Structure 1
Amino acid sequence: MTKANVGDWIRITKEKPEVDREIGKEYEVIDTVSEIFNCPQVIVERLRRENGEAYEEEFVTEDCYEVIGNRPEPDAVNSPQHYTTGRFETIEMIKEIAGGYDDGFLGHCVGTSVKYFARAPHKHESPAECLRKAAKYAEWAADRAEELDEK
């Protein structure tokens, strides 16, 4: 196991029941601690008060992470940040949800609606535009589903 140093990036590889931390999430190491409770640890997040004073730290034990080096540069084509926030990448949700429709246009509208809902809180300062687009595509999907029901 490679020991992390300040400035390294680590990826969580193991959960601990007492800590709410997602496997796969990446953190920058901001400090190291030789031992706490006889276990080497790194500090990966430090929440601060408005005056800049630290008040909460996130500790990660060496058995729960892998060092991944420097933070990867965002990939605006393959994994845009506004589509990769949260537990699931948006494209995976779209494949799963839209794949259940036999009609191509209906599946497209549902998938595009999912896309806009997923990115709404992350893309722009206000989510309103994305939410309106999502609603429009959902409306078109519902209209298409009704057309198909009439056939």
Structure 2
Amino acid sequence: MSRAPSIRDHPASAASAQAIPAASLSPSAGGGVTSCPLPYRHQQLERQLAVALPDPQPDPAAVDAPDKDKLLPKQVASQVEAQVPFEFHIQPEHTEMWRRLGVRPATNAADPYVTEAKYCVYSEAFNAYMYTSAWILGV
């Protein structure tokens, strides 16, 4: 009866067989695991990765985020309220202002991107309208 093919029979396994940790469970060997050096391919890959990987700390000024410096309505209301001598809330004050000044379309509009970009933009990521600092000054 012939035995089933084994991975050890594959020609490529001869070179990598030495890279497999040699585990010894005999009490005389201390029952520990002895590791063998990485095969040449792995050492070469580690050297290439060390050279190829960019600096993990990107420059914050270089990051281009589409919603950078944009504010959600709650943040707008809070900042406006800090500048005026009365309470300013999302409902009804902020809503009344964007409607009156035509800064953005009504909720559930067919095209939510039709906005006054100087003051407001639609964010697909948040599925919401976001406002600029110019809007706070304009309110």
TM-score normalized by structure 1? 0.22
Task: Point out the structure with the larger strand share.
Answer: 1
